[in-house]
Structure 1
Amino acid sequence: METNQTKTNYPALYTLIVVFFFWGFIAAGNSIFIPFCKHYFDLDQFQSQLVDFAFYTAYYVGALLLFIFSSMSGRDLVTKWGYKKSIVYGLLFSALGAGAMILAVEVNTYLGMLIGLFIVALGFSLQQTAANPFAILLGDPKTGANRINLGGGINSFGTTIGPLIVAFALFGTTTAVSDSDIAGLPLNKVVYLYAGVGLLFVAAAALFYFSKKVPAGISNEPIEKANKAIRLLVIMTFLLGVTFAPVFSSYKSEEALKIEALQADLKNTQETSEIALIKSEIEEILHPLEQKRMMWLGGALLVVLGGLSFAGIQAKRKSDGWGAMQYPQLILGMIAIFIYVGVEVAIGSNLGDLLQQPEFGGFSSSEIAPYISMYWGSLMIGRWAGAVSAFSLMGAKKTLLLIALPILAFCLIIGVNTVAGNNMQTLYYYIFCVFLQIIMFFIAKDRPVMTLLVFSIFGASAMVVGLMTSGMTAVYAFLAGGLACSIIWSSIFSLALMGLGKYTAQGSAFLVMMILGGGIIPPIQGKLADIIGIHNSYIIPLLCFVYLAVFAVLVKSILRKQGINVDEAETAASAH
């Protein structure tokens, strides 16, 4: 690997930070895009969640393809190309996705939009694989963590304002637009949005490519072999396709077409008795159909959890060919990342539909942006506080920042939304949830196991409160899921990679693949919402937080058996 430069390359760093920003901007903007698409294209909750399926599945596919091709060549492709070129390729690929998105909007096709988002996220997958080590190469290695934390903070700021800008692009106004009027809205501003995003991707790629001061970051180190792991991941990918295919095809089945015909009759009927009869007939067909869909989606979840569990059992018997998967902390950590990304995305993506229910405010799709912004902003609140540990601060200074930064981040979210013309009065009291999070930080004391355990319990408790109540109490509780998620990613990453030695880079690649959880768990919650209601479907996030708490306990025991003192480990500073 090329030697690191001592002087920070600020032009390249600022450009890289813009890239971090757009990862968060587009990912959080999907939470507004989902309820909009639901009403614009007349979808059910599961179909609208395919936005997440397309976006986050691309991360898995991209990381898997990189790993397979790297294994075939015997060298890691990202370091073979160099971090600089890898980011350029990723930016150009995302620009291609932005172009596909524009084309899909012009022809008004939902499938085309999903394909566009998939291509954008494929580019993101390559960018993220190279971005963190590239940030370290842009200056003194000793201050590399600071640059990564800066990127993570800007990423979270992108998640805060992304929903606001996407909402304006979709609705073109700060005034309420009823959900029944959404289908008649023009999508020309979405074209402008993605044209701007695409041009920024190209501009960033050009700046990286033509800058002679930016190190290439090329390495010739061989990649560790893991043929059995590759075989398992390919089989899992095939089985995931097998489980999702019947769900997709069921929307064109004879039963689905009959339901569509009955729904058309329902719209044209005024007779009360006939309406009741048609609704009864729809329910009679729909209920077993939804159960079949849920069964197949449960099968997809089983493929991931079962496949990784199988790998752990087999690797324990004979480690040859499994690479990093021979370590139980990594296997459990892969499941944890899968669950974590799933719960983080599922809470935010289903929040829009929840807020439209009468008992939770009865908001229209055009009015939910402040709440979505606050949810994703909650991750920024926690990450700003978490970044304090990356600096050599002790005593009163550290204590002051741990208290001040979350409050400052909260005020920033309120301020940005107020400037955007949103009434934030109903969210002022959310500051008390932020105070609870600050207390959690002092309890955890920078210990990765305790951090993961405390914040997982905090998240599970918030989901219980949300499920047991309604109104703003429940809304605050579900929003607090963002505060719980904010600091969990780095703790899982740190614990899962402990003790992996030469397999650390490979283990990191496996963990990035598990961003797949954001593409599977939200649709599962969406389908469950179609069956038992959006409010009750939040039992899915509750179960996810419970697993994360269990992982914290199990991984500590595993690492102690390997002679690793977990309590002295420092949480990795990394943003996804």
Structure 2
Amino acid sequence: MALPSQHSSSVASPPGGTGRSYRPALTLLASLFFMWGFITVINGVLLPHLRSVFELDYTQTTLIESVWFIAYFFASIPSAKLIERVGYQKSIVIGLLIMAAGALGMTVAASLPSYGVTLVMLFVIASGITLLQVAANPYVAVIGPPETGSSRLNLVQAFNSLGTMLAPLFAGYLILGRSRGGTAEAGAQLTQAQRYADAQSVILPYVLVAVVLVVLAIIIARFPLPALGASTQRAAKADRHQHSLWKHRNLTLGIPTMIAYLLAEIGVANLFVNFVSQPDIAAVTHEQASRYLSLLWGGMMVGRFVGSLVMQKVAPERLLGLFAFGALVVVAIATFSTGPLAMWSLIAVGLFHSIMFPTIFTLAIRGLGPLTEEGSGLMIMAIAGGALVVVQGWLADTYGLQNSFFLTMACEVIVLAYALFGSRPTHALPEPEVTPAA
């Protein structure tokens, strides 16, 4: 798969470009990371809401999130081709407008209300996010020195986590707090009229999200983002034919590791509200549980800011191994205990998951040289591994919600093994250079 060469060319800077030259662009990219983190995590609150409105089991509920992540698989290649055709900046604007259209479509789904239309509109929103992901993650990873790529991406991803921390509070208040299902005790039965009224509570928050996305698209359309270096792109394209992606162990093992990580992160986040609201855990309403969910995402934000600083001194693979071991421990405690201990252990998973996505990503594309864009594209497609969360939904229906976290524990072991043994680059190629503008 050929992605646009924002890696091998990387990005053209202003004459005499320095790190400071990119700060305005990185600041703007941080706002994108914030918005797609915000919108993605609204799902963590939306799923228990839709479970109540449509009377879904756990398998049907997690299927909603699976549809979201399937979009990453189907939209990655079209996104890459679009970036090649119209350029980086216009593609970001198009991605934001696609997301806005999907958000408005969610208001239609709520008005009907329709489970099928909800799935389609979430797929549309996720497709827009995919377009942003294909360009933004690798852009940040290679915009500066290769040895600080993980640190840089962790820093910008921290703003993604700021969005994920605020989203449960926003959605908890405007969706769960304004619905009968969100404020009722666990297991309460709703009438048809109550479920229809609850469906309408989705309209206002998604209208607000759509407005913000359109405004952000207008700002970015008028912003002087650095351009891509066309001459360097052509040279890199010729170089790619001389090398094979599959000789790079850190990439070939990084792809399944990213899939495992996404399955762990999404499984914990999507089942958190239902888990915490159980009588033997915290016995709270869904609205109250959504406030605790914001703490989980807040821990992820703190971990990324701290991780960005620590990685200036500590090798990213060593820190990844430490965090993976910590995640394994707290998930095990949440699986085998009850009451507040189980709840706070699951909240702590956010802290230990914090550095995993950006660190796995940068370790996987390390040493790819002119193959960086293809490797990055495969890593973005691996985000579709989040669609496997439906497996955890099936486990929750079949063996119990708490027992389903055995799957999460297995995922943490995979990440730990990658950090210890699989992330060392083989057949490393010279890193791509950033080409200054003429």
TM-score bin (small chain) = 0.7 to 0.9
Structure 2 counterpart of 1:546: 413
Contact 2:365 2:376 in 1 (8 A): yes
Aligned to 1:350: 271
Contact between 1:224 and 1:323, CA under 8 Å: does it hold in 2? Answer: no
Structure 2 match to 1:168: 173
Per the TM alignment, residue 149 of structure 1 is displaced from its structure 2 partner at its CA by: 5.4
Letter in 2 for 1:183: R
Distance in 1 (CA, whole Å) between partners of 2:258 and 2:64 is 20
Name 2:333's counterpart in structure 1: 465
What secondary structure, in the 3-state scheme, does the structure 1 residue paired with 2:228 have? coil
Partner of 1:98: 103
CA contact (8 A) 1:31 1:348 kept: yes
Cα distance in 2 for partners of 1:473, 1:205 equals 43
Task: Note the C-alpha offset of 1:138.
Answer: 10
Cα pair 2:259 2:385 within 8 Å, conserved: yes
Cα deviation for residue 326 of structure 1 reads 3.6
CA shift, 1:153, in A, is: 2.3
1:494 is aligned to 2:415: no
After TM superposition, list the pairs within 5 Å mapping 1:511-530 onto structure 2: 511-520=379-388, 522-530=389-397
Cα distance change on mapping 1:141 and 1:493 into 2, 3 Å: closer
How far residue 514 of structure 1 moved from its aligned partner, in angstroms, is 0.5
Query: Where do 5+ consecutive residues of structure 2 fail to align?
Result: 1-8, 432-438
In structure 2, what is the Cα distance between the partners aligned to 1:114 and 1:160?
24
TM-score scaled by structure 2?
0.83
User: Given the superposition, is the C-alpha separation of residues 542 and 390 from structure 1 closer, same or farther in structure 2, using an over 3 Å criterion?
Assistant: closer
User: What are the residue-to-residue correspondences of 1:91-240 with 2, within 5 Å?
Assistant: 91-132=96-137, 151-173=156-178, 176-178=183-185, 179-181=188-190, 183=195, 185-211=197-223, 213-217=224-228, 219=230, 221-222=233-234
Residue 82 (structure 1) shift: 2.0
- After superposition, the C-alpha distances for 1:484-519 in whole angstroms (9 at most, x for unaligned) are 111122332232223322212211110111001211
Residue 332 of structure 1, aligned match among 253, 269, 273: 253
- Distance across 2 between alignment mates of 1:136 and 1:493: 9
**Alpha-carbon shift at residue 132 of structure 1 (Å):** 4.4
CA drift of 1:554 comes to 2.6
- With 497-506 and 10-19 compared, the bigger mean Cα shift is at 10-19
Query: Aligned partner of 1:3: which letter?
Result: A
Query: In the TM superposition, what whole-angstrom CA distance separates every residue of 1:200-227 from its partner, at most 9, and x where no partner exists?
Result: 222222222234x3344363625759x9
1:149-548 to 2 correspondences below 5 Å: 151-173=156-178, 176-178=183-185, 179-181=188-190, 183=195, 185-211=197-223, 213-217=224-228, 219=230, 221-222=233-234, 323-389=244-310, 446-520=314-388, 522-548=389-415
The 1:219/1:127 distance shift into structure 2, 3 A limit, reads: farther
Equivalent-residue separation in structure 2 for 1:512 and 1:374 (angstroms): 27
Query: How far off its partner does 1:16 sit?
Result: 3.7
Whole-Å separation in 1 of the counterparts to 2:321 and 2:67: 31
1:386: how far off?
1.1
Deviation at 1:151, TM superposition (A): 3.4
Partner of 1:415: none
> Is the 1:134–1:217 contact (alpha carbons within 8 Å) kept by the matching residues of 2?
no
Structure 2 vs 1, CA of residues 153 and 180 (structure 1 numbering), >3 Å: closer, same or farther? Answer: same
Gaps of 5+ in 1: 71-76, 228-319, 392-444, 570-576
Separation of aligned partners in 1, 2:308 and 2:110? 39
Rounded to whole Å, the distance in 2 between the matches of 1:448 and 1:139 is 16
Measure, in 2, the Cα distance between the counterparts of 1:13 and 1:513: 23
Which amino acid counterpart does residue 349 of structure 2 have in structure 1? Answer: G
Q: Deviation at 1:11?
A: 7.1
1:150-208 Cα offsets, whole Å, 9 max, x none, are 53222111100101111122134599334434625444442221112112222222222
The 1:63/1:370 distance shift into structure 2, 3 A limit, reads same
Bigger radius of gyration: 1
Q: TM-score, normalised by structure 1?
A: 0.64
Question: Which amino acid counterpart does residue 278 of structure 2 have in structure 1?
Answer: Q
Q: CA RMSD in A?
A: 3.4
Alpha-carbon distance in structure 2 between the residues aligned to 1:92 and 1:354:
35
* % identical aligned pairs: 29
Equivalent position to 1:4, from 8, 13, 20: 13
Q: CA deviation at 1:20?
A: 1.7
Distance 1:123 1:563 in 2: 33
Q: How many residues align?
A: 408
Which AA in structure 1 matches 2:415?
A: L
TM-aligned CA distance change 1:144 to 1:562, over 3 Å = closer
AA matched with 1:357? Q
* Matched-pair contact (CA < 8 Å) for 2:150–2:358: no
> How far apart in 1 are the matches of 2:110 and 2:263?
27
User: Structure 1 residues 194, 20: CA separation in 2 closer, same or farther (over 3 Å shift)?
Assistant: same
Q: Tell me the distance in 2 between the aligned counterparts of 1:368 and 1:359.
A: 14
Q: Distance in 1 between matches of 2:147 and 2:255?
A: 29
Q: Which amino acid aligns with 2:297?
A: W
